[in-house]
Structure formats: structure tokens, C-alpha cells
């Protein structure tokens, strides 16, 4: 069965959100490599806010869509 | 020999960190920064750098469109895409618009400098800006 296609505005939003997160994490990693811990911390904080806003933005885009919080897989973050 | 570099990225900390790290890790001098693709075109025309480090997703004009435009007036500047996207489609399109290398963000800074050095060494050996397309790939 073919997967449903996301509409163009949702796709654009996801691409932009993905880029924002990667940019933020890349900046944090680069800052850590250079010993710029304050800049790294700032980049992580901004990225965290950005990441959290993604779901809100997607829900705003389609308020009729039921929100499912069950994950398809466990979080990839490990100790 | 120091290579003159223009950095085009809409994320200010990334521009700053590249400007700090490139001269520290290799024979590079960042001569100008651009905040979007349109400004990248202007800065390349003005500064005629050896190398353009180019983000893809930027406001006003994206990196691929900027690269395409730059190639209409500068056939020698080496263009290296530095992006968070790993899509195969984008890598192929980057090669077609005259990009020498496609580098994914997250690469270690010393590796990035080595890779840029490799691109410039290839240029010094007489390879064209694009060769047969993308000559380096960190994906």
C-alpha cells in the first residue's frame, strides 16, 4: 500500500526544521571542537527550542489531525 | 600559499566558527562572508576567491541557484557545498551545477580543512572545478 504523501507546505516545514536542527547541532559540535563552550551551549539551547516547536508548528498546520504520541521506535539517545 | 575563501551560510555562528577554524587548520583566509545565496554571488564577484564554502538551504536564494549563477561569470572558483542535507538527489544536482565537493555538516573541522586542501590541490594539479562532477563526498 503506498504511503500517503505529505503536502508541499508540510514537506517544506519539515525540511526547514531539519535544517535548523542540523545547523544548530553542527554549530555546537564545531564550537566544542574549538573550545568555545559558551557558544556551544547557546547553540544547543536554541536548537532545543527549535526542535520543540516543530510539533507545535505541524499541529497548527493540520489541527484536524489526531495527535499520536506512540513512537515507532525507542529514542536513539543512549547514555 | 594561502587560499582565499568566501563562506556563505545563513547561520551566524557557523560563519563565525568557520572563519575562526579554517585559518587555524589549514592555509585558508576567509575574505568575506555571505548570509544568503544572492549575497554569495555578489561576494564571489567582488572578491574573486579561490574557494566558496556554500550552504544549500538559505533565504533569498538557495545554494544550488547561487552556484549556477556564479558559474555564468566565474568558471574557476572551487565551490564546496557544506550542508545538513544528505539527500542523494541534492548531491547529484550539486555536481551538475559545478560543485567540486559535497560535505555534510558534522564533519570534524580538521577533516573539513583537509578536504578543502584536497580540492585546492586538485585545482593546482590542473583539474577543472568540477572534474567529472563531485570529486569528494563525505556522505
* Mean pLDDT of all residues in B74-84: 93
Q: How confident is residue A4, by pLDDT bands cut at 50, 70 and 90?
A: low
Angle separating helix axes B63-70 and B37-47, nearest 10 degrees: 30
- Is the pLDDT assigned to residue A53 strictly greater than 90? no
Tell me which chain A residues have a C-beta less than 8 angstroms from the C-beta of B14. Answer: 23, 26-27, 30
Note whether B54 and B98 are within 8 A (CB).
Answer: no
Q: Give CA B121 to chain center in angstroms.
A: 15
* Mean pLDDT of all residues in B64-84: 94
- Is the pLDDT assigned to residue A72 strictly greater than 90? no
Q: What are residue B8's DSSP bridge partners?
A: B34, B54
Q: Which of A11, A15, A19, A45 to mutate to test the interface with B (most CBs of B within 10 A)?
A: A19
The chain-wide mean pLDDT, for chain A, equals: 81
Note whether B25 and B113 are within 8 A (CB).
Answer: yes
Q: Nearest CB to B84: which of A18, A36, A42?
A: A18
pLDDT digits (tens, 9 = 90+) for B121-134: 988 877 766 644 44
User: Which one, of B88, B81, B70, lies nearest residue B112 by Cα?
Assistant: B81
B101's enclosing H/E stretch is strand B101-104
Q: Where are the alpha helices (DSSP H) in chain B?
A: 12-25, 37-47, 63-70, 88-96, 109-124
**pTM of the predicted protein model:** 0.84
Chain A segment 33-62 residues within 8 A of B by beta carbon are 33-34, 36, 39, 42-43
- Cβ neighbours, 10 Å, residue B99: 28
Q: Nearest CB to A30: which of B21, B57, B84?
A: B21
Amino acid at each position: 500500500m503506498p504511503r500517503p504523501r505529505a503536502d508541499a507546505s508540510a514537506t517544506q516545514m519539515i525540511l526547514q526544521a531539519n535544517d535548523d536542527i542540523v545547523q544548530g547541532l553542527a554549530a555546537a559540535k564545531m564550537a566544542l571542537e574549538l573550545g568555545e563552550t559558551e557558544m556551544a551551549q547557546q547553540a544547543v539551547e536554541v536548537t532545543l527550542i527549535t526542535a520543540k516547536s516543530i510539533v507545535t508548528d505541524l499541529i497548527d498546520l493540520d489541527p484536524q489531525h489526531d495527535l499520536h504520541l506512540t513512537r515507532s521506535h525507542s529514542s536513539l539517545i543512549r547514555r | 600559499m594561502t587560499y582565499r575563501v568566501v563562506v556563505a551560510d545563513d547561520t551566524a555562528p557557523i560563519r563565525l566558527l568557520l572563519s575562526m577554524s579554517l585559518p587555524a587548520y589549514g592555509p585558508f583566509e576567509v575574505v568575506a562572508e555571505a548570509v544568503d545565496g544572492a549575497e554569495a554571488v555578489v561576494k564571489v564577484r567582488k572578491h574573486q576567491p579561490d574557494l566558496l564554502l556554500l550552504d544549500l538551504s538559505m533565504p533569498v536564494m538557495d545554494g544550488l541557484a547561487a552556484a549556477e549563477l556564479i558559474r555564468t561569470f566565474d568558471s574557476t572558483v572551487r565551490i564546496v557545498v557544506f550542508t545538513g542535507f544528505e539527500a542523494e538527489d541534492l548531491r547529484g544536482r550539486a555536481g551538475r551545477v559545478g560543485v567540486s565537493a559535497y560535505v555534510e555538516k558534522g564533519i570534524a573541522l580538521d577533516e573539513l580543512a583537509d578536504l578543502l586542501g584536497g580540492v585546492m590541490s586538485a585545482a593546482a594539479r590542473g583539474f577543472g572545478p568540477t572534474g567529472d562532477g563531485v570529486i569528494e563526498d563525505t556522505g
